[in-house]
């Protein structure tokens, strides 16, 4: 094989490899954009948006009190959440990605209008911070979500511990 032909084949192989890596990078950037659908579910009070972003057998860690497993179980929680908290607004503050995992730091501001965690509503506005890690599967859907929410801080703002 001549040097020119070897060089041409090497360049073609390199170009193919680079295009594969470029495609993977584009898909990863897409995860950062796609995850916004998850948060819009709360802002629009539309559980059906979850069909676009989380897998049917999605795992939620930790699950909410009384939450049934999977996407359908989580979808059932959204209307109750909206009935407890009025004017809820979930704002994404940061999105960081590593491979197929996307971490999101967000804030949630709302007014408590219904009982929550055994505490009656006092009609107070509160803001909590949340941190979620979403793991995407090979189909581009969120398979697992781990989350932390500052509900203790929220309960103090809601006046839950006042006498």
Q: Is the pLDDT of residue 16 over 50?
A: no
**Per-residue pLDDT tens for 110-120?**
999 999 999 99
* % of the chain surpassing 90 pLDDT: 78
Q: What is the pLDDT of residues 78-120, one digit of tens each?
A: 999 899 999 999 999 999 999 999 999 999 999 999 999 999 9
Name beta bridge partners: 147.
Answer: 132
**Predicted structure pTM score:** 0.81
Sheet holding 54-61, edge to edge: 54-61, 142-149, 125-136, 101-112, 85-98
Nearest to 72, CA basis, from 47, 89, 106, 97 = 47
> In the predicted model, what is the mean pLDDT of the chain?
88
Q: Tell the burial category of 128 from Cβ atoms under 10 Å away from its Cβ (0-12, 13-18, 19+).
A: middle
Model confidence pLDDT, tens digit, residues 122-149: 999 999 999 999 999 999 999 999 999 9
**How far apart (Å, rounded) are the C-alpha atoms in residues 99 and 138?**
12
Report residue 30's pLDDT band, with 50, 70 and 90 as the boundaries. confident
At 21 the pLDDT is 42
Give 35-158's CATH code, choosing from 3.30.950.10, 3.10.450.50, 3.40.50.300, 1.10.10.10.
Answer: 3.10.450.50
* Cβ atoms < 10 Å from Cβ of 104: 23
Which of 1-5, 29-33, 157-161 holds the top average pLDDT? Answer: 157-161
Most confident of 29-33, 62-66, 142-146: 142-146
């Amino acid at each position: 094989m001549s040097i020119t032909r070897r060089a041409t084949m090497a360049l073609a192989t390199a170009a193919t490899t680079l295009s594969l890596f470029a495609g993977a990078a584009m898909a990863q950037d897409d995860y950062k954009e796609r995850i916004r659908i998850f948060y819009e579910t709360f802002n629009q009070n539309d559980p059906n948006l979850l069909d676009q972003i989380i897998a049917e057998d999605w795992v939620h860690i930790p699950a909410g009190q009384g939450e049934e497993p999977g996407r359908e179980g989580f979808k059932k929680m959204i209307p109750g959440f909206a009935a407890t908290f009025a004017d809820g607004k979930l704002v994404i503050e940061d999105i960081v990605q590593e491979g197929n995992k996307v971490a999101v730091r967000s804030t949630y501001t709302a007014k408590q209008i219904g009982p929550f965690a055994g505490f009656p509503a006092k009609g107070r506005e509160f803001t909590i911070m949340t941190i979620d890690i979403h793991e995407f599967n090979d189909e581009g859907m969120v398979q697992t979500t781990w989350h932390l929410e500052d509900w203790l801080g929220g309960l103090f703002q809601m006046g839950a511990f006042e006498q």
